[in-house]
Amino acid sequence: MLSHSLQYVVFVIAVFALYWAVHRHYWPRMLLLLAASLLVYVSFLQVPLSAFVGGMPVGELVVKLVPLFIFLAGVTVDHLLVKGMGRTERPGVRKLLVVLSIVSNLGLLAGFKYLELLRRTVASLLGPWGVEVRPEPFHLLLPVGLSFFVFQAISYTVDVYRGKASSEHSFVEHLLYMLFFPRVVSGPIVRASELMAHFREVPTLSSDDGNKALFRIAVGLVKKLVIADVLGSGIVDPVFGSPHAYSSAECAVAAVAYTLELYYDFSGYSDIAIGVASLFGFKFPENFARPYLAKNLFEFWNRWHMSLSSWLRDYLYIPLGGNRRSKPRVCFNLMMVMVLGGLWHGADWRFAVWGAVHGVALCGVRCWWWFRGKQQEPGPVRVALGMLATFTLVVLTRVVFRAPDMAHAGEFYARMLAGIPGLANVGPLMWSMLALAVLAHAVPMKLYDLAALAFLKLPAPARAVVLVLLGLGIRQLSTLETRPYVYLQF
């Protein structure tokens, strides 16, 4: 049930109506949100509702629901450990419990996501020496959204250990925190203090907040269906699929187009998630802040996927020592965070390479600041050069993200640098979408705020007409097939 599909729209409307009918009563609203969240997660497992009333053999149904059972087991273990931390003040016991939580969650991630990568790596390293390693793949399933679940689980237990989150939440609250349907599989990564603390409050929703939420959802749909999907199907997929059939210039345009597609795809998802959560009285953190206008790579990572960047900072970079250690140790910390952050995106060494390149670049920026000093207010020329250099690095490294393997990425780079001219395969629609993507990213946020304010001031019937016309326009411009979110694969 993708959040840009018609089924999801109907689903949200139904849950919204039921939720606000019972919102004053704690258990009815909590159980309704939990049931809705379970339904959305099960839909990603491709289990139809008819399966629960005899439409599927029990054995087959159980197999399809294994990811959910794994998830429930992980939440149960974490909940018991959190309760244990709440019942003792002994530092050694509390530390043992939080370590057990971290190890169990990382164990799930390592076992289901990285064990096959380890097998392939060991086999490739030891094979030339005549050491036989298991040749067959493990064929382990990868539970949907496991990476996001693990990060949220660790943040909750660590925050309880640090005294930044309460251990008094019920199992239902803990489960709903992990599974809340607006951001169930792709974030934003929400801290416990930003969500669980509000479960016991009676929710409110003003007319203005509701309209702002609808406007935010509409913006997200335009980003995803009009810009991201059109760029993806029109130029990114064909060129990355057969780079040898296109000119160097067209490959370069496709690399830029993919960089824009990825942003509009994921930020569109985040906008919809933030808007839907607002309809139920919850506030999610922002996840993007026009990252391609960043003047340096540090600023880029403070603007891109901010919930992940802040998680890596608070739960990995700072515990490693952050900026408080020697200069070599600071560079080591940066490299560790970026390589591990790269591997988090996928069980393939090309993601580690991508992270390492960013890590080296971040270390280079940091060393430059140590050597020359960091300018607080650089001039316009320096700002423009910084933005261009940062965007160029992001575009070039995104090729590794999009390519199925390093060999394909190498082929794409070679074709892009071959100096073959020609843009015959980039039509007017693609140029229009590229221009729209750049313009929409560059305009000041104040214009979006003014557009939202203008929407709020319209009479209710006029707002309804605007939304209907917007829906029709999206249907006309977007691709005919519903494309899944790009970030779901990570």
Catalytic residues: 345
Alpha carbons within 13 A on the beta-carbon side of 149: 32
Residues 6 or more apart whose CB falls under 8 angstroms from that of 233 comprise 479, 483
Q: What is the CA radius of gyration of the chain?
A: 24
Q: For residues 110 and 373, what is the distance between their CA atoms, to the nearest angstrom?
A: 40
Q: For residues 232 and 242, what is the distance between their CA atoms, to the nearest angstrom?
A: 14
Name the nearest CA neighbour of 490 among 249, 145, 6. Answer: 145
Q: For residues 65 and 51, what is the distance between their CA atoms, to the nearest angstrom?
A: 11
Angle at 397 between CA 393 and CA 403, to 5 degrees: 155
Q: For residues 173 and 186, what is the distance between their CA atoms, to the nearest angstrom?
A: 20
Q: Write out the two tokens for 419.
A: 């100096």
**Three-class DSSP category at 88:** coil
Provide the 10 A C-beta neighbour count for residue 25. 12
**Three-class DSSP category at 181:** helix
Q: For residues 456 and 215, what is the distance between their CA atoms, to the nearest angstrom?
A: 9
> Cβ(8)–Cβ(1) under 8 Å?
yes
Q: For residues 188 and 183, what is the distance between their CA atoms, to the nearest angstrom?
A: 6
Name the nearest CA neighbour of 178 among 142, 141, 146, 217. Answer: 146
Q: For residues 423 and 200, what is the distance between their CA atoms, to the nearest angstrom?
A: 58
Q: For residues 20 and 40, what is the distance between their CA atoms, to the nearest angstrom?
A: 19
Q: Provide DSSP, 400-430.
A: HHHSSSHHHHHHHHHHHTS-----TT--HHH
Name the nearest CA neighbour of 176 among 4, 338, 36, 3. Answer: 36
Residues 6 or more apart whose CB falls under 8 angstroms from that of 431 comprise none
Signed CA dihedral, 5, 11, 17, 22: sign only: negative
Q: For residues 440 and 451, what is the distance between their CA atoms, to the nearest angstrom?
A: 13
Q: For residues 350 and 220, what is the distance between their CA atoms, to the nearest angstrom?
A: 30
The kind and range of the H/E element at 159 are: helix 146-162
